Amino acid sequence: MAQKPSIPKGTRDFNPEQVVKRNYIFDTIRGAFKIFGFQPIETPSFENSSTLMGKYGDEGDRLIFKILNSGDYLSKANEQAYSEKDSTKLTSSISEKALRYDLTVPFARYVVQRQNEIEFPFKRYQIQPVWRADRPQKGRFREFFQCDADVVGSKSLWQEVEFIQLYDAVFSALKLEGITIKINNRKILSGIAEVIGASDKLIDFTVALDKLDKIGDEKVKEEMRSKGISDDGISKLQPLFALSGSFNSQIENLKGILNTSEAGKKGIEELEFINNAINELGLSTAALELDVTLARGLNYYTGAIFEVAAPKTVKMGSIGGGGRYDDLTGIFGLNDVSGVGISFGLDRIYLVLDELGLFPETVTNNVEVLFINFGEKEALFSLKAIKQLRSNGINTELYPDAAKMKKQMNYANKRNIPFVILVGEEEINSKKYTLKNMQSGVQAKISIDELIHKLK
């Protein structure tokens, strides 16, 4: 009995309509990247494990897909680790490569390898798939595309301002109104950790804090206690859990909380600069909001942290995120190269647009006109016209078989093809084409020039 085919959990097939809709999002994002001056690059789908491991924190490392070494991978396995069933030590001896977890770390590797070829500041964009061994759920997949834009070689906060504008430009172009660009600063988090006496547990603190909107403050406090953060320190966090109000009012409250932390005060200064600039420049459809619990749980952020929330009417996680990473290239031996970047979550953006019915109808009209096939002579005459239509950028198709008219018309309907053209003996003699509007049913005989004009 033949095996029933399947695909791995967390992956998907895409039908033609879905691919066309995804390309609409890709094209919109890519167009904005170009307008803002970013250049395209691509990197391999897998990297050396040493490039990826240790860059995303313990939780991130566990989600990296490892690739077994080619051939007899057990021949070089760590025998002690194998006998003790120590998966961590064993993995390093049987796997030297891994699928990329994101596009930022591979980009840092790219910059370091090509530092003598690159003109700094270097603005790049990258649209490629990434893989994470996460638990699949709505809006979360194991294989998905990221659409990233980064600038390296500049510490200027104007870059952060431009990224906020870039988010606004893309979501405005997609007609996705009501999105919120949340911002925080890693220096704020460092200052908070300092004030509560947990500077040595900054990563544990930020990883726990980043889960606040998912598990609530009591569960976050439990996790912090489990990581050795004192009850006295946790009690000092209480004002943060309830911090609300306008951007400026939250900033004023933070100034009181962080008045003894130099790092915290620097973070406040940077946030004020960005917010003042955005207030002056304005946003088209997005809103900028300060969220001091935003941590994103990643080791490499050092300044601004971004996360984009979908409209409140849609239940969806973040649809974008990013931040400043002043020392990311330092892990590959290139120091003092500051970077900042953002990412668009293509798959989640797709789900949001689909749920809200925001895909333009024209996006799915892949073929504009179908020529009905009445036989060999008619088909050859039709193909001459089809050649002219295609040269004018009109997506055109000939039904391949001289099947019954009803079958061909049903094909056009099921494909949502808006027009069909009928070519018989009369049309060949008059050199005119019978154009039928599939929605209204109206027919008209027109010349090839009129046909091109109408369909364009």
Q: How confident is the model at residue 323 (pLDDT cuts 50, 70, 90)?
A: very high
Q: What is the pLDDT of residue 439?
A: 92
Residue 240 C-alpha from the chain's centroid: 29
Q: Is the pLDDT of residue 297 over 60?
A: no
Q: How confident is the model at residue 86 (pLDDT cuts 50, 70, 90)?
A: low
Q: How far is CA 151 from CA 119, 278, 348, in A?
A: 11, 19, 24
Token pair of 197 as six digits: 């006496």
Q: Can you give the pTM of this predicted structure?
A: 0.85
Please report the sign of the dihedral spanned by the C-alpha atoms of residue 292, residue 195, residue 257, residue 325: negative
Q: What is the pLDDT of residue 204?
A: 77
Q: What is the pLDDT of residue 139?
A: 65
Q: Is the pLDDT of residue 31 over 90?
A: yes
Share of residues in the chain with pLDDT > 90 (%): 62
Peptide bond connecting 121 to the previous residue in cis, omega within 30 degrees of 0: yes
Q: Is the pLDDT of residue 77 over 80?
A: no
Q: What is the pLDDT of residue 167?
A: 98
| 265 contacts: CB under 8 Å, gap ≥ 6 | 191, 255, 258, 259
Residue count (the chain)? 456
Token pair of 40 as six digits: 């395209």
Strand residue runs (E) in 86-179:
97-99, 122-131, 143-152
Q: How confident is the model at residue 19 (pLDDT cuts 50, 70, 90)?
A: very high
pLDDT digits (tens, 9 = 90+) for 112-147: 999 999 999 999 999 999 999 998 887 688 999 999
Q: Is the pLDDT of residue 285 over 70?
A: yes
How far is the C-alpha of 321 from the C-alpha of 311, rounded, in Å?
15
Runs of H (alpha helix) within 174-300: 186-195, 202-209, 212-226, 231-236, 238-241, 247-257, 262-281
Q: What angle do CA 159, 289, 357 make, to 5 degrees?
A: 95
Q: Is the pLDDT of residue 91 over 60?
A: yes
- The phi-psi region of residue 137 (left if phi > 0; otherwise alpha if psi is between -120 and 50; otherwise beta) is beta
Mean pLDDT along residues 403-409: 95
